Structure 1
């Protein structure tokens, strides 16, 4: 008789939970909620510097010269991907579309007592794109991990901005403009979602901007935190999104909640109200997250347990290393500090038992 592995059991329970939420089976819903609660772990500590089974290594750095003509830079970039990673250009194009609508993430911006701003994120990707039952992993997630790169974008031999990206993705999901601002993006689930915008774009209505192209434009050209916030708030998009922005002075941190057309809310750090951090997963912060996908509650529990007095890049890494914030979809963790211009990124692994998302 073959027994279910614990990761398989978590996977099944999450799907039962989703079914119960959709069809209002209250008793079974509460039971599965209790089962999921049992898998939560205590907040991690001492995980930084990254080591052990949850860290597969540092992300490699590359440099891109923005002074090169765009056509030459693009050819060099795609040639590198094709030769070294064996990814055809057609697949690269598909990846760019999928990244627009399938990123599931956790982002945190926090301020310490001295006014230092810290920004961290987990990038989770590959949901429902092949489950490897033997290894208890998402197939696409594991294939993407070797494609994670750090890029230093320079002009006149000086850094303009830095990013952590998947090789072949021309937009930006995680980036920092040293001394000015840091930026991450999270998918926002909405009926009027990215599929609608992408279909409109395919059929010729192209007044909306690809999310990743906007973030790249902002990182390359915005001259301040406020400038970046304005561009991210006002530009029409192909897909709804959350933009998480960090700055270089007290109070400069926010979550911008976007529809494809406009901005619904800007949720900012506010020390007078005791709001020393903002934390975003994939649900509007004023609404409860889906119980079958609640990374917010354990992440906030760990942030509150950490306290503002002890917040740092290291303690944010601890939060992002706590299951289910760290899960089978997590490809990398990034840590940024605008005032120092630092960007650290690490390839992640979530040893069993671990939640599928």
Structure 2
């Protein structure tokens, strides 16, 4: 049985479940498109807390203070995913058995220092090592996002994103919400990675996840990752890794290495363009130059083996570039067109409105904001500023 066949079978199963839920269980609201101008600042209760992770510590000790009280939250989240996996595979316990029994051995295949960091998280939370490992890889497959890099009229670059997560993962009929999305919101944190008491970079993470989806290296560059849907997707890469084909890198570990080691936008751009990965993705990069020959903002469209397109801000719009989860040269899925409303709101805001407040308003406008949105992150590279806010979408709201 080929890996490609297995990957396609899983994709078909997910689509079937999604359509089935939407037709039978979801309360589908009327479509709402809006451009709000009063969403910032959000309530203080929505502000995401910050933790320091000391990279000078041994890897197994770095996350203890962050996760020591988070074990029950992570466990509940994984139990939800296990339940969903069993339903997808007609009651089969294969995925659950792999997580519980084979996960510790799987950990041996992962690069350092990440393997030791996950061992430390397992010790601090009381979770099985296999569960911690799995918690750190499933973000490769279910992350549906909107990312924007924009230049204000003074030439300063801002980078903002919504992280939407939980599609297909447990529809709550009673509350009309996605179960995993609701479980993830309380786990959102800002992490200040430091060496010698100085910030190396800052990121927005889910507590217990050690990779990077949203980050800023102050004064140098910003980076976000959006999932790219592809028939040669992350499931195939995961199965190949399990079967011993390990030429590619985990996306979250690659981005972590980039944030720790890259000395600027151009070096980061080369690394995320050329490194082979287990899953396709979009990398959205912002730099610190907005004039001359090297205006720094781009979307890198990745196949697993390499980049297939590098789309620079100047050719996109001139003052901003925007990516959701579809190739910029193709049409979004009609059920998931967040791109067109986001462009509408950017045009409504104009370049004069580019700011932390302006971009937060764009990302708080439905359907860019939706039931899957866990947080909005807002970054300004020159000042090294990063803030993040939990997001909640009022009804009517999709999906679905």
| TM superposition score category, shorter chain reference | 0.7 to 0.9
Q: Is 1:49 aligned with 2:45?
A: no
Q: Which residue in the other structure is 2:232 paired with? A: 192
Runs of at least 5 residues in structure 1 that lack an aligned partner in the other structure: 1-13, 20-34
SS at match of 1:142: helix
Match of residue 349 from structure 2:
306
Give the strand-richer structure, 1 or 2.
1
Deviation at 1:307, TM superposition (A): 1.0
- Tell me the distance in 1 between the aligned counterparts of 2:73 and 2:138: 22
Correspondences of 1:290-301 after superposition (within 5 Å): 290-301=333-344
| Partner residue, 2:31 | 39
TM-score, with structure 2 as normaliser: 0.76
Deviation at 1:135, TM superposition (A): 1.2
- Aligned equivalents of 1:125, 1:83: Cα separation in 2: 20
Distance in 1 between residues matched to 2:66 and 2:349, nearest whole Å: 41
TM-score by length of 1: 0.85
Partner of 2:298: 254
Segments ≥4 residues shifted beyond 3 Å = 74-81, 83-87
Counterpart of 2:262 in structure 1 is 222
Separation of aligned partners in 2, 1:197 and 1:339? 37
Partner of 2:392: 349
- Root-mean-square deviation (Å): 2.2
- For residues 95-114 of structure 1, the C-alpha deviation after alignment (integer angstroms, 9 at most, x for no partner) is 22210111000000011121
Q: Specify every segment of 5 or more residues in structure 2 that has no aligned partner in the other structure, as ranges.
A: 1-17, 76-124
Matches within 5 A, 1:149-164: 149-164=189-204
CA distance in 1: counterparts of 2:372 and 2:73, whole angstroms:
24
Q: Which residue of 1 aligns with 2:245?
A: 205
Matching of residue 66 in structure 1 with residue 58 in structure 2: no
Per-residue deviation, 1:180: 0.6
The residue matched to 1:254 in structure 2 has which SS? strand
- Tell whether 2:324 aligns with 1:332: no
- With over 3 angstroms needed to count, the CA separation of the structure-2 counterparts of 1:74 and 1:41, relative to structure 1, is closer
Residue 236 of structure 1, CA deviation:
0.4
**In the alignment, is the contact (CA less than 8 A) between 2:233 and 2:279 conserved in 1?**
yes
Cα drift, residue 78 of structure 1 = 5.3
Whole-angstrom CA distance in 1 between matches of 2:47 and 2:317: 34
Residue number among 183, 198, 202 corresponding to 1:143 in the alignment: 183
Does the 8 A contact of 2:32 with 2:396 survive in 1?
no
